[in-house]
Structure formats: structure tokens, C-alpha cells
């Protein structure tokens, strides 16, 4: 509450918007703090209500209501756990939405199929968390799956949660694309970067090369017959972003530019912390070597996080988006590391 009062006092002072970059960060921080306080207050109120209901149920010896209160308390306990996880998120953009991308790596058609399986897993998780997503870009695999897909994810704490998934994910299974049903290993990388305000990163227009091209499609009457797709290359860094899913060239350019801003921010942060370079699949080969999680479907079933040691034999549940245990363990690991 003291932080909220301090920021609100600063916002009321003359000249607050004289430095717009700093002002926007403070406004974002205020929104984040108020969201945390509001959620904590709502949870506290519900806990008190359940305590009163339990006391009444016990006084009337109402076993059915006691059981009902117990079930509701379990739900509240889960919400408390998530609130505690959010308290671990102290990054400047953890509260923000994000650009979420999946890239197929080594493994041929199996890797493209694996990338589409990961994409489905994360979409299901996002839906369970009340996050919204929009497909920005997709490059289909030659035979199946996707070689690359980018989502714009919006909602509170989207970046704070999903940044835990950055890195290479490894799949071991009997390949459905192998007539002999032999065991294959495939890799795909997940990348997550926060959605930024334009003012947070300055770009010299002379450093950009902007190309337009015709959007791909399945053909037929809906195929795009104009050069509406946009590719932007940042010449100093070599970073390339593109968008072709919007109907107009103007909208595609705006989305590609927004992704470029975020990727330049991420690059700047990487330069500050060398360890992050190892986490991003795009910085090296997405294949044998370092990976953050293994998903084994044959000859046994297990999903194991290589960073935290958390594992489960319920691989189907994980692939259906039940990944909270992995996210929570990684948040705790990062918090412990930051305090050491």
C-alpha cells in the first residue's frame, strides 16, 4: 500500500509526464500493484466467508455443508498458491502480455509435428488461465505440423508465467511418420518476449529494411492477391520479424514493428546477463545439447524438467496444458537463485 500511495503521489505532482518513458513504467507498476492488492483482498474476503459458513455448519451438525466448505477451501488454497507465485514475479514486464513463439528444430517432420503439439499445449494452458491469444504468424511444416508459429498473448502476468518456458523442449516417441514405428527424438524451441510500449526502445529508421511480399495461403478465393505481408530487418542486429496474418499491409507492418521492439529489448537484456543466451533456442541449434524439459512417450511415459527435477508420469495431462507444477517450480528456482 505504501508503494501505491508513493506512485499516486508522484503522478499527482507537476511534471510527472515530462519524462514519458519513466512515467509509463510507473503507471504500469501501479496497475500491477493494485491488481495484486485487489486479488489478495478478494481472497481474504472469501476465506472469511468460508470460515463463517463452516462455523454455522458445525453448530448445526450439517455434514454436507462441512464437506462443501472443504471443497471450496481447496479451490481457495489453489488461488492462494497462484497469488504467492505472482508475488515472486518482480521483473519490470512480468505483468505484461507477450509474444510467444514455437520453432521446430532437429527431427524433420517429427519436429514440426512436435512444435504443433507444444503450441496446442500452451493454448490450452492459456485458456485455463483466462489469457487471450491471437495467431500472428505461422509457417506450416512440409508434411505435417508447423515449422514456426507466433502468438500475441494478452492478459495479466502472461509474460511472468511464460518466460519460464523459454528454451528447447525434447520429445521421445514412436514416430507416426515412420512406417517401422521406430523411436525418434525431436526438438522444438519456445521463445517468449514481453510486449513493450514503443517509447521503451528507440529505433533509427535508417537501420531498417522493410520488404513486402504476398501472403501465403491454401489458395482459392481467399488467397491474398496483394503484397500485404511485411518483413522488417534490423540491419545492425540482423533481427528479422514478419507478419502476414492481417488483411492490410499497414496492420502487418505495425505487428512486425511491435515484435521487433520486443526482440531488441530482449537482446539488450541478454547482453546484461550472459546466462540467458543459453536459454533461447534461436541462438543456437535446436537439437542435441541443452534442453529444459524432456517429454518421453516411449518406451515409458514421463515428463521431466531438467532445471528443477520436477517430473510426472501423466504425460497426457501435461500435453493437455496442465503445466502449473513445472511453472511454479521454475519460479521458485529463479527466486532462490536471485537471493543467493
What is the DSSP code (8-state) at residue 253? H
Count of domains forming the chain = 2
> Are both 41 and 133 inside the same structural domain?
no
Q: Tell which of 61, 87, 113 closes a domain.
A: 87
> Are both 156 and 254 inside the same structural domain?
yes
> Are both 197 and 80 inside the same structural domain?
no
Residue 274 confidence (pLDDT)? 55
Q: Tell which of 24, 59, 87 closes a domain.
A: 87
Cα–Cα nearest to 95, from 22, 160, 7 = 160
> Are both 187 and 112 inside the same structural domain?
yes
> Are both 170 and 40 inside the same structural domain?
no
Residue 77 domain boundaries = 2-87
> Are both 205 and 71 inside the same structural domain?
no
> Are both 156 and 61 inside the same structural domain?
no
> Are both 253 and 330 inside the same structural domain?
yes
Burial 115-137 (b: 16+ CB within 10 A, else e): bbbbbebbbebbeebebebeebb
Q: Residue 38 pLDDT > 90, yes or no? A: no
> Are both 338 and 285 inside the same structural domain?
yes
- Please tell me the distance from the alpha carbon of residue 143 to that of residue 145, in angstroms, as a whole number: 7
Residue 290 confidence (pLDDT)? 80
Taking all residues of the chain, what is their mean pLDDT, rounded to a whole number? 85
User: How confident is the model over 221-272, as pLDDT tens digits?
Assistant: 444 446 788 999 999 999 999 998 877 888 899 899 989 988 888 787 776 5
Look up the pTM and report it: 0.70
- Please tell me the distance from the alpha carbon of residue 132 to that of residue 130, in angstroms, as a whole number: 7
Taking residue 207's Cβ as centre, other Cβ atoms within 10 Å add up to 11
Assigned C-alpha cell, 82: 497462484
User: How confident is the model over 195-219, as pLDDT tens digits?
Assistant: 886 556 778 889 999 999 876 644 3
User: How confident is the model over 141-171, as pLDDT tens digits?
Assistant: 999 999 999 999 999 889 999 999 999 999 9
> Are both 99 and 197 inside the same structural domain?
yes
> Are both 110 and 59 inside the same structural domain?
no
Q: Tell which of 26, 58, 87 closes a domain.
A: 87
CATH number assigned to the domain comprising residue 195: 3.30.70.1660
> Are both 34 and 162 inside the same structural domain?
no
Amino acid at each position: 500500500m505504501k508503494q501505491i500511495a508513493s506512485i499516486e503521489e508522484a503522478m499527482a505532482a507537476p511534471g510527472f509526464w515530462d519524462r514519458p518513458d519513466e512515467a509509463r513504467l510507473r503507471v504500469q507498476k501501479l496497475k500491477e500493484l493494485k491488481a495484486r492488492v485487489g486479488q489478495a483482498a478478494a481472497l481474504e474476503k472469501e476465506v472469511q466467508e468460508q470460515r463463517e459458513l463452516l462455523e454455522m455448519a458445525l453448530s448445526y451438525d450439517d455434514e454436507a455443508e462441512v464437506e462443501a466448505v472443504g471443497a471450496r477451501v481447496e479451490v481457495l488454497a489453489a488461488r492462494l498458491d497462484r497469488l504467492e507465485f505472482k508475488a515472486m514475479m518482480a521483473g519490470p514486464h512480468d505483468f505484461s502480455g507477450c509474444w510467444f513463439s514455437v520453432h521446430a528444430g532437429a527431427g524433420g517432420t517429427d519436429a514440426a509435428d512436435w512444435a504443433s503439439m507444444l503450441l496446442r499445449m500452451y493454448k490450452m494452458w492459456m485458456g485455463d488461465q483466462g489469457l487471450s491469444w491471437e495467431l500472428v504468424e505461422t509457417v506450416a511444416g512440409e508434411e505435417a505440423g508447423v515449422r514456426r508459429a507466433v502468438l500475441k498473448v494478452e492478459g495479466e502476468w502472461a509474460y511472468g508465467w511464460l518466460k519460464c518456458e523459454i528454451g528447447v523442449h525434447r520429445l521421445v516417441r514412436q514416430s507416426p511418420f515412420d512406417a517401422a514405428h521406430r523411436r525418434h527424438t525431436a526438438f522444438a524451441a519456445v521463445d517468449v518476449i514481453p510486449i513493450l510500449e514503443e517509447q521503451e526502445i528507440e529505433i533509427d529508421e535508417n537501420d531498417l529494411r522493410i520488404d513486402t511480399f504476398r501472403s501465403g495461403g491454401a489458395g482459392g478465393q481467399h488467397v491474398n492477391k496483394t503484397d500485404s505481408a511485411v518483413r522488417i530487418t534490423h540491419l545492425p542486429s540482423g533481427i528479422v520479424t514478419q507478419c502476414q496474418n492481417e488483411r492490410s499491409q499497414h496492420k502487418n507492418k505495425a505487428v512486425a514493428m511491435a515484435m521487433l521492439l520486443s526482440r531488441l529489448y530482449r537482446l539488450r537484456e541478454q547482453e546484461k546477463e550472459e546466462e540467458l543466451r543459453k536459454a533461447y533456442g534461436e541462438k543456437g541449434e535446436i537439437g542435441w545439447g541443452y534442453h529444459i524439459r524432456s517429454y518421453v512417450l516411449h518406451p515409458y511415459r514421463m515428463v521431466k524438467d531438467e532445471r528443477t527435477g520436477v517430473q510426472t508420469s501423466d504425460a497426457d495431462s501435461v500435453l493437455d496444458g496442465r503445466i502449473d507444477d513445472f511453472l511454479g517450480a521454475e519460479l521458485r528456482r529463479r527466486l532462490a537463485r536471485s537471493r543467493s
